[in-house]
Structure formats: structure tokens, C-alpha cells
């Protein structure tokens, strides 16, 4: 047994009927050169790797009377007939049809009575391609853990293969054992509380002093001042998923030419795309908005479970027309956010989440999810996750592209996630069915925004076509 940490528990408590807390990992497999590949081969491959994927064998155990955060029961039996599912992508089997299938899969919550994951094996893609659509509860793994988990699930050329049949399942502790363990943990938490409060006061004081030294910046949004936009409303239960791919070499070349980080290019790309969408839906983009950007506090390549993350609040200059000025302002905003994050303490947020009131937190978040109020903390979530650099395989078939997305938050109906994989960056947008007429309006805008930055950086030529990826689709077709 292992206790969920505060962030794991938070991601569990914030799940409501309209705010699902599962993430998606989509791997496109190109079986054109493989004679014998299909669902049964994938199922055999997965079953032989399951012992390496520890969190997929966890099952949630609630503590009686919610006296503490839940626990994971480890080494549980897994019914692969339930967790591995076959779906069919309608003809003609392109990116739009696949994105529609992923949208439907994303729209339903996971069953908390079972290990919190599903894998959908999507058949019917053109060119003997298949899609493996992983649906994993965020409480099980953050972005870094998910990358490591996916690497274990795949064959990596040159890597060691360690296969075996799953072992026996674990036994559920009695109610008295669960309560006794909860009591011991509470005693430990009480002892740690004075130190946490001291660190919190010091951290917030340092941030306040530094903010006064820096002064206000007219083109950066203040924290907790996210403006009202079409992106921000009560989120509906239905999900819409859209994807696109750009060449990683183009992104790296752009970052190098502008002397900024790759993450700065991603955020500036999001700012340009959201500027276009705000002008279309709100009639203007007159002030900066706020992006919530998760950041890992533990990047160990061996970690495959848990959420060891914090968050940066970064101003996106959607009100600026010049793409190079947007890049510059994003770099300034990111630098300030990172400095504040270090001053306050990278792990403070996770530590504070440990003290969420377990008896009332789920009901409180459910009540909040039903309100149509503004989210003053954020307008949009933007993530940039470095994925595997070596090409993976499932049962001998190469993985040609990977997409990932996180969750939607209270009053924030758009999540933009970029995952790099080998030679490409997979762009994924998750939203509900109330925000866009077509989710591919957002992916189109993101690709156009990046092309604008790439050109403004003085790099000649069109963006490279990612040959390994499914053909692109647009909102107008």
C-alpha cells in the first residue's frame, strides 16, 4: 500500500461529472512494413510488459469516513479484457476521424472501482496504421512519469527487454488497518506543519519583496488577474480533441535564432494562436492573459508514478501584434515566473496540498464546477513535455508519432499540450464542446502562429512536412 501524496489526492478530488481527471497518451503505430501486427499481437506485448508498468496495477482504496487521502493497493490483478479495448476509426481513416474517436474516449470518466486506466486499440486508419489511445488518471502519473511509463511500455531500439507474466494480486487491508495507518500519517503531518507554515511565510514574503523590486510591467498580466474571455466558462462534460505535428528541427532552429528556450517558443506560439482565436470569438485581444504551465520537481528517469509537480503562472502577450515582441515578452514573463517559483520553494505547492481537508474537498470542488464564475488564476493550460528521443516499437511495429494532453480546469476550457518525440513535436488541444465551432481551429492557429515566428526569426522556406505523421487537417475541411 502507498498513500497518495497531496497533489495526487488533489487531482482525485477535483474530478467532477464535468471535469474529468484522466490524461491521454496517443501513439500512432505504422505497421506498413510488418506482416503480422494487430490487436492480439499488441495485447500479448502489453501483457508481457505489465509487470514493468507498476501504476497500472494500482487500485484506489478509500479510507473509512474519509479520514485521510486514499491509498493505492499495489500489485492488483488486472483484467486485460476490460482494460484493453478495440475501437474502429471511420473511413477514410485520417487524422480528423481519429481525433473524433479520441474525443469520444476522452468524454467519459474512468471507473474508480478498477485500476485507473484504459488502452483503446484503434483500427481502420489509412496506410496500415493503428492508434494506441491510453487513458490514464492524472492521479497515477504526471508528465515526466508518463514519459518514463511509455518508454517502458515500448520496445526502444538498443534497450533492454525485460518481459514476464504478471504476478499475484495484493490483498485489501481491513478498515482498522487503514484507520491505524491514517492515524500514524496524521501524527507525522502534525509534526511537519510548523515547518511548512514557516517555509510558506518565508517564500511568499520573498516573492512579494522581489515583485516590489521589479515593479509593474505594462505588458504583463498580474497574478490572479486573468481576464474574462471566451476560453473561460463552465466546462461541459463532452470533450473535443485536435492534433497537429511540426518538425522538431524547425522549433529548435527558431529558438536558436531568437536566443530563447524551446519552451519560450512553445508559449509564444500559444500566445499568437490565442490572439487569433480571441479576435475571432471575442472581437479583440486587448490585454494579456494567463497560462498555467506545469513544471516537474522530480525529473528522475526511473520515476513512473506520482505527481511531483508545481505550476508557473505565465503572462501570454496576446495583445501584441508583432511576433518577435511576443517572444521577447514571453521570455521576460517566464524568467519572472521561474524566479518566483524558486523564491517560494519549488515543492511548497505539493506540500500544501497534503493538508487538503479530505472530508469536504470532493464536495467543494463539485460545487465549484457547477458555477459559471471566472477563474482568476488562469485562462488556459499550456504544457511542453520532452518525450522519448529514440523511436519506440510495439510488437515490432514502429511508433511514428505521439500526442498527449492533460486535463481541463475549473472555468478554463482549453488545454494545449506539446510532446516532442524523436524528430517531431506533437501538438494536442483538448477542449469541451462549447468553446470552438471546430477544435481544429485551434490546431490550425497554433501551426500558423509558429510559422509566423519561424519566418520573423529570419528562417527561410516553408515549415518542414513531418513525413512520418498523419496528413494534416484543417477546420475548413
Distance CA 30, CA 443 (A): 23
Q: Which CA distances in Å does 353 have to 10, 12, 65, 72, 357?
A: 7, 12, 19, 18, 9
Give the Cα separation of 171 and 4 in Å (integer): 18
Q: Which residues of 187-203 are buried (b: 16+ CB within 10 A; e: fewer)?
A: eeeeeeeeebeebbeeb
Burial class (CB in 10 A: 0-12, 13-18, 19+), 235: buried
In angstroms, the Cα distances linking 113 to 84, 136, 148, 372, 457 are: 16, 14, 25, 30, 52
57: closest CA among 102, 8, 116?
A: 116
Residue tagged active-site, from 20, 69, 83, 138: 138
Residues 6+ apart with CB under 8 A from 445: 272, 273, 274, 276, 277
What is d(CA 20, CA 331) in angstroms, rounded to the nearest whole number? 32
Name, in order, each residue with C-beta under 8 angstroms of 124's C-beta and a sequence gap of 6 or more. 88, 89, 90, 91, 93, 97
233 is catalytic: no
Beta bridge partners of 156: 392
Cα 176 to Cα 141, 173, 181, distances in angstroms: 29, 8, 9
What 192-197 contacts at long range (C-beta under 8 Å, 24+ apart), as own/partner pairs, is: 193/355, 196/348, 196/351, 196/352, 196/355
Report which secondary-structure segment, H or E, holds 337.
helix 323-344
Q: What is the rounded CA–CA span in Å between residue 88 and residue 125? A: 8
Q: How far is residue 442's CA from residue 269's CA, in Å, rounded to a whole number?
A: 11
Catalytic residues: 138
Amino acid at each position: 500500500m502507498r498513500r497518495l501524496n497531496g497533489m495526487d489526492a488533489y487531482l482525485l478530488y477535483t474530478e467532477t461529472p464535468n471535469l474529468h481527471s484522466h490524461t491521454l497518451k496517443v501513439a500512432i503505430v505504422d505497421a506498413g512494413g510488418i506482416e503480422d501486427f494487430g490487436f492480439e499481437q499488441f495485447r500479448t506485448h502489453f501483457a508481457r510488459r505489465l509487470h514493468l508498468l507498476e501504476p497500472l496495477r494500482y487500485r484506489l482504496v478509500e479510507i473509512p469516513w474519509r479520514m485521510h487521502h486514499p491509498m493505492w493497493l499495489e500489485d492488483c490483478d488486472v483484467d486485460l479484457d476490460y482494460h484493453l479495448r478495440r475501437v474502429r476509426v471511420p473511413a477514410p481513416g485520417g487524422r480528423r476521424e481519429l481525433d473524433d474517436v479520441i474525443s469520444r474516449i476522452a468524454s467519459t470518466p474512468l471507473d474508480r472501482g478498477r485500476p485507473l486506466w484504459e488502452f483503446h486499440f484503434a483500427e481502420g486508419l489509412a496506410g496500415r496504421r493503428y492508434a494506441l489511445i491510453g487513458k490514464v488518471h492524472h492521479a497515477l502519473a504526471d508528465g515526466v512519469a508518463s514519459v518514463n511509463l511509455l518508454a517502458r511500455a515500448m520496445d526502444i531500439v538498443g534497450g533492454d527487454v525485460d518481459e514476464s507474466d504478471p504476478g499475484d494480486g495484493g490483498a485489501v487491508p481491513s478498515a482498522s488497518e487503514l484507520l491505524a495507518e491514517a492515524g500514524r500519517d496524521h501524527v507525522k503531518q502534525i509534526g511537519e506543519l510548523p515547518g511548512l507554515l514557516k517555509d510558506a511565510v518565508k517564500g511568499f514574503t520573498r516573492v512579494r519583496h522581489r515583485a516590489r523590486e521589479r515593479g509593474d510591467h505594462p505588458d504583463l498580466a498580474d497574478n490572479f488577474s486573468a481576464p474574462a474571455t471566451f476560453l473561460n466558462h463552465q466546462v461541459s462534460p463532452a470533450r473535443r480533441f485536435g492534433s497537429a505535428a511540426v518538425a522538431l528541427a524547425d522549433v529548435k532552429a527558431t529558438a536558436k535564432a531568437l536566443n530563447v528556450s524551446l519552451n519560450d517558443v512553445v508559449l509564444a506560439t500559444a500566445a499568437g494562436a490565442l490572439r487569433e482565436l480571441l479576435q475571432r470569438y471575442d472581437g479583440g485581444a486587448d490585454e494579456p492573459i494567463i497560462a498555467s504551465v506545469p513544471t516537474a520537481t522530480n525529473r528522475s528517469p526511473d520515476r513512473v508514478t506520482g505527481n511531483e509537480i508545481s505550476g508557473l503562472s505565465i503572462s501570454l502577450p496576446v495583445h501584441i501584434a508583432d511576433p518577435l515582441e511576443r517572444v521577447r515578452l514571453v521570455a521576460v514573463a517566464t524568467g519572472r515566473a521561474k524566479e518566483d517559483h524558486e523564491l517560494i520553494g519549488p515543492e511548497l505547492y505539493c506540500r500544501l496540498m497534503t493538508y487538503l481537508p479530505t472530508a469536504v474537498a470532493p464536495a467543494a470542488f463539485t460545487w465549484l464546477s457547477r458555477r459559471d464564475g471566472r477563474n482568476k488564476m488562469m485562462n488556459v493550460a499550456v504544457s511542453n513535455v520532452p518525450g522519448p528521443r529514440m523511436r519506440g516499437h510495439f510488437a515490432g511495429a514502429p511508433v511514428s508519432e505521439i500526442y498527449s494532453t492533460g486535463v481541463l480546469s475549473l472555468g478554463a476550457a482549453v488545454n494545449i499540450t506539446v510532446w516532442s518525440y524523436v524528430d517531431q513535436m506533437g501538438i494536442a488541444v483538448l477542449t469541451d464542446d462549447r468553446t470552438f465551432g471546430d477544435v481544429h481551429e485551434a490546431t490550425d492557429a497554433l501551426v500558423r502562429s509558429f510559422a509566423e515566428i519561424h519566418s520573423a526569426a529570419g528562417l527561410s522556406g516553408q515549415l518542414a512536412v513531418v513525413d512520418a505523421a498523419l496528413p494534416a487537417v484543417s477546420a475548413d475541411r
